[in-house]
Amino acid sequence: MNPLYLLFVFIASSILGYLIIKNVPSLLHTPLMSGMNALSGITILGAVTATGLSVSTVNNDKVFIGLLLGGIAIMAAAVNIVGGFGVTHKMLKMFDKKEKIA
């Protein structure tokens, strides 16, 4: 894909994201941060693609490096995603719980 498109997507989504996130009250800043943290695990898409392609491509002499580095990347990103969303959920439940008591 043309790099200019990618740069455009990057800038557009940053601006849109910023405008939306601006409305999050400071009350929820920690869950917001840990939620965003989980989202940064999106890099798993790159890791899965790289690992998958390095294995599935025939006549590839670099399969081992691909599996090793890609595997660590997948694992790290998965930890990030699951841990991040898990803990965000835990925190938000804590805030929401009082809603019912109050």
What residues from 74 to 93 belong to the interface with another protein (CB under 8 A)? 74-93
- Nearest distance from C-beta of residue 59 to another protein, angstroms: 13
Report whether 83 contacts 35 (CB < 8 A): no
Mask of contacts with another protein, 40-79, x by CB under 8 A? xxxxxxxxxxxxxxxxxx--x-x--xxx-xxxxxxxxxxx
What residues from 7 to 26 belong to the interface with another protein (CB under 8 A)? 7, 9-18, 20-26
- Nearest distance from C-beta of residue 8 to another protein, angstroms: 10
**Exposed/middle/buried for 61, CB within 10 Å: 0-12, 13-18, 19+?**
exposed
For another protein, the closer CB: 20 or 59? 20
Report whether 102 contacts 96 (CB < 8 A): no
- Nearest distance from C-beta of residue 67 to another protein, angstroms: 6
Give the whole-angstrom CA distance, residue 37 versus residue 17: 14
What are the structure tokens assigned to 67, written together? 């599996």
- If binding means CB under 8 A, how many residues of this protein chain bind another protein? 91
62: three-class secondary structure by DSSP: coil
Neighbours of 10 (CB within 10 A): 10
- Nearest distance from C-beta of residue 12 to another protein, angstroms: 8
